[in-house]
Amino acid sequence: MLTDAEPPLWAQGGWNVEKGGPWTVPWALGTGGDAVAYLFATQLVAGSSPRIDGTNNKVLWVAKGDPSNFVVEGLPPGRSQTVVSVNGGPSIVDVPMAGCWTFRLLWGSPSQPGISTISLAALPAGTLPPSH
C-alpha cells in the first residue's frame, strides 16, 4: 500500500522533506520493515516505457542496511515465477500486465540472505496514472 507518511529513518537518506509534512514521493514498505519502494511515477502502468503521458515507471528500491548490490524480482498476479528483474536502487520497472505484482528484494549472501517483499498495483496499459 502506498503512503505519503514519513518513511523509516533508515530509508530517508538523500531526501529533503519538511518535518511533519507529507512525503513528496509515494512509497511502500516491504515485509519485515527491511525495504522501501519509492514510486516517482505515483503508480505503475503495464506496458513498456514511456507511458502515454511520456513518463516512466520509475521506482527507487531501498533495502535496510544499504546493501551495495541487490536485485528486485517481479512476480505477476497468480504466478510464482519471476517475469521482471531489475537491479536495486533507481530503475524503470516495466511490467507486461496489470494487477497486483509482488516484488522480492534479495540481498546478502547464501549464509546471511536478506529478503523483503513489496506488493504494488499496476494499472492496465494505456491508462493515465494519477498525478501527485
Q: Is position 52 within any domain?
A: yes
**CA gap 123, 104 in Å, rounded:** 20
Q: Is position 130 within any domain?
A: no
Q: How many domains does the chain have?
A: 1
Look up the CATH number of the domain holding residue 42: 2.60.40
pLDDT digits (tens, 9 = 90+) for 57-102: 999 999 987 677 899 999 999 998 999 999 999 999 999 999 999 9
Q: Is position 106 within any domain?
A: yes
- Residue 17 pLDDT greater than 90, yes or no: no
Instruction: Give the chain's end-to-end CA distance (angstroms, integer).
Output: 16
Q: Is position 132 within any domain?
A: no
> Structure pTM?
0.91
Q: Where does 1-132 have alpha helices with state H? A: none
What pLDDT score was predicted for residue 69?
81
Structural domain boundaries enclosing 101: 9-123
